[in-house]
Amino acid sequence: MSSQGDPALDALLLPFADGTLARASGALFMHARAGAALAMQDWPGLVCETAFRPDADGLRQNGFTVAEATTGQRPLVLLLPPRQRDEARALFAEALARAAPGALVIASVANDAGAKSAEADFARIAGPVSSRSKHKCRVFWARAGQPGSDPALAAQWRGLDAPRPVAGGRFLSRPGVFAWDRIDAASALLARHLPADLSGRAADLGAGYGYLAAELLERSPGIGALDAFEADARALAMARHNLAGFAPRVALGFHWHDVVAGVPGAYDVVVTNPPFHSPNGRERPDIGRAFIAAAAQALRPGGRLWLVANRHLPYEQALGAGFGETRLVAQEGGFKVVEAVKAAAGRPTQARARR
């Protein structure tokens, strides 16, 4: 993501760029992402943590050390909190725990992503904070262990994003995962229309906590292998847990992977409810189109894509470019379910009306 497209990152780093705050060698950047404002030469020994594969890839391409999680206390902790409040509160508490006594913890949140509430939450456990506004964001900071902090509340908040049962205990999920506390309505619509005759090797692109994959495996006993591709490592861990019961009869694979970059392998079936928003909440239909292109690339000739999407999203051209035959299966509640079949080389594209 470019600096132009990431004002929260720009705001986070501005107090260091203008000399208000001092950088520290060996700092930790939690929920990190790359951008033009983050220059490696300015941050010797910086360690970045992220569970989101596109961000991890971008940081590594810029030369930074990246890990899903690290240990030990740091002389400075930077944080870009997520939008989900329980996950953000847990990360605030974790950031304070990961900071050495007296070390600075600094965070930045866009105004339209709940900056004031985030700053107030941070102050509840950190004590008095300093803050400033820039780039339609608020950046705020405090020192770990300062007078006025609330270590007891911080200890409670560290567990707010822990895995927990959802959907009547059928699945395990956690705050911050897509549709984490429910069965997503679009995915449920797709699941209801999956036929029982799907067979062979399958992939779930953007698997989340594993709901669609579980429905596919329950409804189509002919599926002998399934690979779950998911960019969020936290969601992928939930999918691994939730699909474990199918392991005796299905060869399962779990891939921390950015589907937009393409998907390796040859599949007979692909199911997907592709994302169409960036992590900052902006609509990005190009992500869904990239998922469709990845599915077309990954399917064998004759392979079948089962897709659900919001009705207004313009995916028809992408489907026409990658598949020989498409049909609208259902429309309901603002969503559409589409089946597309990969054509053999040289065969023309066809579009069939809803049955």
Q: Are 207 and 239 in contact (CB under 8 A)?
A: yes
Reported as a single tens digit per residue, the pLDDT across 126-140 is 999 999 999 999 999
Token pair belonging to 286 = 């190009």
**What pLDDT does 354 receive?**
39
Q: Decide if pLDDT at 105 tops 80.
A: yes
Domains annotated on the chain, with CATH: 7-157 (3.40.50.150), 164-352 (3.40.50.150)
Q: Computed from CA positions of residues 51, 206, 180, 168, in that sequence, does the dihedral angle turn out positive or negative?
A: negative
If residue 288 lies in a helix (H) or strand (E), which one and from where to where? helix 285-298
Q: Rg of the chain's alpha carbons, rounded to an integer?
A: 22
Q: Computed from CA positions of residues 342, 344, 347, 353, in that sequence, does the dihedral angle turn out positive or negative?
A: negative
Reported as a single tens digit per residue, the pLDDT across 214-237 is 999 999 999 999 999 999 999 999
Q: What are phi and psi of 251, to 5 degrees?
A: -80, 115
Q: Decide if pLDDT at 281 tops 70.
A: no
**What pLDDT does 3 receive?**
38
For residue 301, the one-letter residue type is P
**Confidence class for position 315, pLDDT limits 50, 70, 90:** confident
Interior angle at CA 197, CA 193 and CA 202, nearest 5: 85
Q: Transcribe 212-265 into DSSP letters.
A: HHHHHHHH-TEEEEEEEEESBHHHHHHHHHHTGGGTTTSEEEEEE--GGG---S
* 200-227: average pLDDT: 98
Mean pLDDT, the chain, whole residue set: 93
* 40-67: average pLDDT: 95
Q: Computed from CA positions of residues 93, 94, 95, 99, in that sequence, does the dihedral angle turn out positive or negative?
A: positive
This prediction has a pTM of 0.92
Reported as a single tens digit per residue, the pLDDT across 293-310 is 999 999 999 999 999 999
**What pLDDT does 98 receive?**
97
Q: Decide if pLDDT at 279 tops 50.
A: yes
